[in-house]
């Protein structure tokens, strides 16, 4: 590249930086008789209850550094310690530790008051002890992730021998069923991501983060999948399916881990059975593209791990290190991966129908798509207890 070309790339950037610096230092708005008062906002990202009191992870997103001056718990002022101390710059986080004798299963109201008099409220709906990090709890959450992630996918894979006996129309039905399942997962993942984005700091533009992550993920994986000029089939398509479902299960694990950590869900047999039934279809969908390719046992093992183990990681992150904006980002990436696989499965369905001398849009395909949606929706009802 010529030096003159580099010059005309750097020069506009330098001029832009200079213009911004002049604007910030000269304050031209003063000539208009207006000012820009500091805007304060505080986001509570995490709450921990233990024998030492209440600890809250807060993040500032105001235009100027914020100083938390007072903390109220249930209408009374309490001493607190901030880590790290001092004013909070924009988007910086700190732990607020309050030695308050909270009462289990009761509701507590917390108010933060800044040195400017602005107040921000937070409610602990049901106070329960937050599980601390230990090997026992790590194993317990890991076991929960295995139940809701790995076990259902493995059970779905057991349908592979029966899938091999299906004829052409049966294969169209299974592929369309997989599409219906993925359509439900796509909507469910986007819904969860946008819900979490609403609880993150506004400065992160959570909703835009989810959509942008989905588009970037879709284009990246789609480009990698078509780099050979052909649509993926067989083992490759099954791998993409397992990867996309794994990202969805990661988000599912995040929701489960964070819910159990704050006592918003009860660990009961109905919940475990609900997730198992809900995710069995995922294993069937992953196994479908393998029909006719004679996969080894190790292939099924690897695909099950790829699709199911992210649920274990998700429960660990959700229970011990949950962050709404990062969770929203992961779910956006997962939505993009699911969308890419929908395109590839749809393409595979069209090729299968063409080999049979028919069209992909048939009664069998519509029935399979409808069954996929119905099964996923019906089993989701058992999860939302």
146 vs 205, which has greater pLDDT? 146
What is the pLDDT, as a whole number, of residue 287?
85
What mean pLDDT comes out for the span 304-328?
Answer: 82
> pLDDT tens digits for 244-301?
888 878 877 777 777 666 555 444 444 556 666 667 777 887 888 888 778 888 999 9
C-alpha to C-alpha distances, 185 to 114, 192, 253, 321, 325, nearest whole angstrom:
42, 10, 14, 25, 20
> pLDDT tens digits for 4-45?
777 777 788 888 888 877 766 776 656 655 555 557 788 888
What is the pLDDT, as a whole number, of residue 266?
46
Q: pLDDT band for position 201 (50/70/90)?
A: low
What is the pLDDT, as a whole number, of residue 96?
92
What is the pLDDT, as a whole number, of residue 111?
92
How would CATH label the architecture of 42-124?
Sandwich (2.60)
Q: Of the ranges 215-229, 269-283, 287-301, 310-324, which is most confident?
A: 287-301
* Paired tokens of 113: 């008051």
Number of H helices, E strands in the chain: 11, 8
pTM: 0.68
C-alpha to C-alpha distances, 373 to 153, 195, 272, 376, 378, nearest whole angstrom:
17, 22, 21, 5, 8
What is the pLDDT, as a whole number, of residue 267?
42
- Bridge partner residues of 121 (DSSP): 111
Count of beta carbons in the 10 Å neighbourhood of residue 54: 25
Average pLDDT taken over every residue of the chain: 80
> pLDDT tens digits for 271-284?
556 666 667 777 88
Location of structure tokens 């069937």: 284
Left if phi > 0, otherwise alpha if psi is -120 to 50, otherwise beta: which for 283? alpha
The domains of the chain are located at 3-32, 42-124, 135-383
* Paired tokens of 128: 């329960």
Which residues have a Cβ under 8 Å from the Cβ of 222 and sit 6 or more positions away?
340, 343
Nearest alpha-carbon partner for 316 in 191, 70, 145, 148: 145
Distance in Å from the first CA to the final CA of the chain: 62
The whole-angstrom separation of Cα 181 and Cα 174 is 10
What is the pLDDT, as a whole number, of residue 97?
94
């Amino acid at each position: 590249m010529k030096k003159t070309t580099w010059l005309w790339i750097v020069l506009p950037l330098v001029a832009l930086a200079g213009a911004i610096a002049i604007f910030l230092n000269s304050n031209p708005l003063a000539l208009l008789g207006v000012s820009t008062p500091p805007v304060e906002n505080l986001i509570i990202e995490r709450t921990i209850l233990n024998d030492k009191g209440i600890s809250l992870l807060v993040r500032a997103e105001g235009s100027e550094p914020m100083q938390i001056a007072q903390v109220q718990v249930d209408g009374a002022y309490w001493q607190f310690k901030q880590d790290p101390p001092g004013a909070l710059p924009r988007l910086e986080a700190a732990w607020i530790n309050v030695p308050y004798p909270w009462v289990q299963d009761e509701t507590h109201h917390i108010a933060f008051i800044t040195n400017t008099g602005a107040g921000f409220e937070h409610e602990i709906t049901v106070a329960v002890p937050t599980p601390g990090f230990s090997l026992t709890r790590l194993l317990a959450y890991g076991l929960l992730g295995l139940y809701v992630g790995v076990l259902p996918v493995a059970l779905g894979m057991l349908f592979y021998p029966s899938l091999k006996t299906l004829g052409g129309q049966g294969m169209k039905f299974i592929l369309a069923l997989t599409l219906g399942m993925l359509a439900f997962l796509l909507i469910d993942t986007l819904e969860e991501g946008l819900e979490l984005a609403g609880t993150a700091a506004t400065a992160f533009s959570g909703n835009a983060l989810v959509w942008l992550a989905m588009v970037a993920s879709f284009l990246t994986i789609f480009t990698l999948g078509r780099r050979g000029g052909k649509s993926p089939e067989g083992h490759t398509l099954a791998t993409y399916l397992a990867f996309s479902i794994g990202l969805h299960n990661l988000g599912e694990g995040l929701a489960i881990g964070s819910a159990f950590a704050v006592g918003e869900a009860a660990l009961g047999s109905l919940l475990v059975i609900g997730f198992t039934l809900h995710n069995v279809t995922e294993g069937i969908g992953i196994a479908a593209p393998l029909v006719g390719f004679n996969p080894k046992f190790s292939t099924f093992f690897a695909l099950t791990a790829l699709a199911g183990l992210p649920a274990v990681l998700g429960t660990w992150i959700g229970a011990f290190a949950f962050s709404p904006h990062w969770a929203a980002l992961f779910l956006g990436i997962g939505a993009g991966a699911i969308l890419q696989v929908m395109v590839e499965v749809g393409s595979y369905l069209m090729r299968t129908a063409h080999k049979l001398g028919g069209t992909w849009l048939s009664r069998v395909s519509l029935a399979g798509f409808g069954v996929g949606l119905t099964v996923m929706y019906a089993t989701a009802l058992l999860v939302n207890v």
